[in-house]
Structure 1
């Protein structure tokens, strides 16, 4: 059933007896509607499953009218497409397969006259759930839907005005998990190079935006890949900047230090250690490991890769590990196409990880996003190699791509964002989500070695 809040009801022109019969029928219909209406008292209404989920669109009128605004729960923010162009679309990633039963659209003045509500398992092949050919704006509430998929899309084919398409809110209701989730599945958000010395009052300040995105994704936990606080990582700066944004989920964060954490005049890592405490030193050192489901995570301090104590610890940690999947993260990347370039300080660690059949390495330092094909420590592409991601776009000023390295598959500079990593008991994949909520890159799916 499709209810449109802006629809006009025609006048009833009929004789009294007929009018009575009509009114009786209307009351019965209204009663039926109330019984079926989602969210009524006593009803087992399906939950809202789209709030805060990553969204993308065919276009945006400007950066303040991004796709994510249509899924943020605010009645005052909105998505708006480019003006005067058909078709246009907006889609949301529900995170996993879901059964969709209701879609509620709150249009701005620039509404769709014709559009389709579509669902997809893979974001490529779409099935139509509902179709409008004579829309008149305001609120469209599609109920009684039956569709399954991970992605939902509103595909506008004809504008109702000379402008574009604009939605205050697109709400998707249904049952999460249209099928059983992969065994041991969990989500992680990761980023490096985060808190510049600025706050949300500065429109150009990026780390409040990436923090808001990271919080919306609501992962199992967060990883930071160093340079958490600029410029000298003093405790006063951590409290004034990082703590106001990414600090909101500090208790669920597993950090590592970067080179800027070593610049503190009070001593290398002094402010970092004072701020994070046992969160960053759970095993008494600036490097540590922990397990989640079938995965072993290793947090390393690349400022001290030349110290035998850390490499000895890593050898022992890898030898003791019983998990079949291994991910490691630190600040300085062995391979990078950015301004800092390749950093050989990481090569001995790569050799140890490669020998232990590790799967994934996450780094920061260069302020861009980049993913590499599986490779060995010498940079030779091989299926048995380690996948490396540079994710240094958490909030510090972007660096340009300078010299593209072999095996580099994708590079993005200038767009702040976070890594949204999806882990299962047997593999992993990820998306790079921009601070505007739009997915900028999607990785291949990898199996653990």
Structure 2
């Protein structure tokens, strides 16, 4: 199929799918759905109507920066405090969902990703979803040598072999979508992901093998962020390769907050640590990046447009408050030709925050 014809057909399909997908996401709860009091026991549930669960498209969930260690003063068995260690309530959002996959976006077990803490903490809350987990590692996983705790816990689901010898990188399919899991720890000023590197060789080959597909890529370090960690310039070659390959959505974490960017075009790094202002482009020409670092650990501030004028107009939705923290999960419905998203808060939530919308594929 001609590439441009394929993209036009998917955009047309996406306009229809986007309208349908808007109703396919989690709703507020059992009482709102049925009109009856919720008397069930067990984890808090985010109810999904059966019609939505059976409709076109596949539902995924994604979040990073998750579990505090028991040595954290506010761990409290995973209940945490309003400011952090809320992994139990975040995990509750997955209960009862009919998910095609759960995407843990790195920094899953603080502080050093030790095997015993993965087994005793992360597994306690997210273990029920291990079979559908398709994770990527964060920087804290690598505070244990070679991320041994992370790879030991997830096994083959995290280290699926590729012929290019790139650890922690793999791809797979969900419905009509191609999914690309990237280990961003391999891209740094010391270990570059430029053309000719193992990472780029694998990535470009993978995209060439899956043309004309709606595609979602995910990793840990965001290329652009108005949060505490700021931009991560070493991911520039990866972003541009994904853009050239027609990737539609990028999910990341690392900064402990929520940021949704408008569709952005080609990236330019001014130095090894500083990015040029991102270019705003039409949806069919760019990538929409979501930062979902709200998995329970704590919150980081997000700079406003006066503090980061280079990102003015680029961030469509954001939330971070270190005193009234935001925790929750991003749910994405992957349909033929399009997608929809909704950020769902962990409860109780002292300050209400909501972000939802639809998009079309290239």
Which TM-score applies when normalising by structure 2? 0.74
Equivalent position of 2:186 in the other structure: 304
Mapped contact 1:369–1:391 kept (Cα < 8 A): yes
Verify: 1:392 aligned to 2:293, yes or no.
Answer: yes
Call closer, same or farther: CA 1:446–1:107 in 2, change over 3 Å. Answer: closer
Equivalent position of 2:173 in the other structure: 291
Call closer, same or farther: CA 1:177–1:225 in 2, change over 3 Å. Answer: closer
1:240 CA displacement: 1.5
Equivalent position of 2:281 in the other structure: 382
Instruction: Give CA deviations for 1:298-356 in whole Å, capped at 9, x if unaligned.
Output: 00000102251111100111111145201100000011111111111111100000011
Equivalent of residue 431 in structure 1, options 339, 342, 359: 342
Q: How far apart, in 2, do the equivalents of 1:175 and 1:370 lie?
A: 30
Equivalent position of 2:317 in the other structure: 410
User: Quick check: which has more Rg, 1 or 2?
Assistant: 1
RMSD value over aligned CA atoms?
2.6
Call closer, same or farther: CA 1:313–1:106 in 2, change over 3 Å. Answer: closer
Mapped contact 1:327–1:359 kept (Cα < 8 A): yes
Equivalent runs, 1:128-147 vs 2, <5 Å: none
1:218 CA displacement: 3.5
Instruction: Give CA deviations for 1:140-180 in whole Å, capped at 9, x if unaligned.
Output: xxxxxxxxxxxxxxxxxxxxxxxxxxxxx9xx9997259x8
Q: How far apart, in 1, do the equivalents of 2:223 and 2:262 lie?
A: 14
Q: How far apart, in 1, do the equivalents of 2:279 and 2:183 lie?
A: 25
Q: How far apart, in 1, do the equivalents of 2:114 and 2:233 lie?
A: 28
Equivalent position of 1:193 in the other structure: 65
1:281 CA displacement: 1.1
Q: How far apart, in 2, do the equivalents of 1:326 and 1:173 lie?
A: 25
Call closer, same or farther: CA 1:443–1:232 in 2, change over 3 Å. Answer: same
Q: How far apart, in 1, do the equivalents of 2:126 and 2:110 lie?
A: 13
Q: How far apart, in 2, do the equivalents of 1:271 and 1:173 lie?
A: 34
Mapped contact 1:431–1:440 kept (Cα < 8 A): no
In structure 1, the residue corresponding to 2:134 is in which secondary structure? Answer: strand
Instruction: Give CA deviations for 1:363-397 in whole Å, capped at 9, x if unaligned.
Output: 00000011010011331111111000000000111
1:436 CA displacement: 1.7
Mapped contact 1:199–1:241 kept (Cα < 8 A): no
In structure 2, the residue corresponding to 1:432 is in which secondary structure? Answer: strand
Equivalent position of 1:176 in the other structure: 51
Verify: 1:272 aligned to 2:150, yes or no.
Answer: yes
Verify: 1:442 aligned to 2:355, yes or no.
Answer: yes
- 4+ long deviations beyond 4 Å: 172-175
Alignment length (residue pairs): 289
1:53 CA displacement: 5.1
1:257 CA displacement: 0.4
Instruction: Give CA deviations for 1:250-294 in whole Å, capped at 9, x if unaligned.
Output: 111000000001101xx1211111111101012253100001111
- Greater strand content: 1
In structure 1, the residue corresponding to 2:95 is in which secondary structure? Answer: helix
Verify: 1:54 aligned to 2:27, yes or no.
Answer: yes
Q: How far apart, in 2, do the equivalents of 1:377 and 1:435 lie?
A: 34
Q: How far apart, in 2, do the equivalents of 1:372 and 1:412 lie?
A: 12
Call closer, same or farther: CA 1:254–1:323 in 2, change over 3 Å. Answer: farther
5+ unaligned residues in a row in structure 2: which ranges? 1-24, 70-74, 268-277, 306-310
Mapped contact 1:191–1:225 kept (Cα < 8 A): yes
In structure 2, the residue corresponding to 1:214 is in which secondary structure? Answer: coil
Of 203-212 and 251-260, more deviation after overlay is shown by 203-212
Equivalent of residue 334 in structure 1, options 215, 223, 238: 223
Which TM-score applies when normalising by structure 1? 0.60
In structure 2, the residue corresponding to 1:312 is in which secondary structure? Answer: helix
Call closer, same or farther: CA 1:201–1:360 in 2, change over 3 Å. Answer: closer
Q: How far apart, in 2, do the equivalents of 1:380 and 1:303 lie?
A: 25
In structure 2, the residue corresponding to 1:316 is in which secondary structure? Answer: helix
5+ unaligned residues in a row in structure 1: which ranges? 1-51, 56-67, 72-90, 93-102, 109-168
Equivalent runs, 1:355-374 vs 2, <5 Å: 355-374=244-263
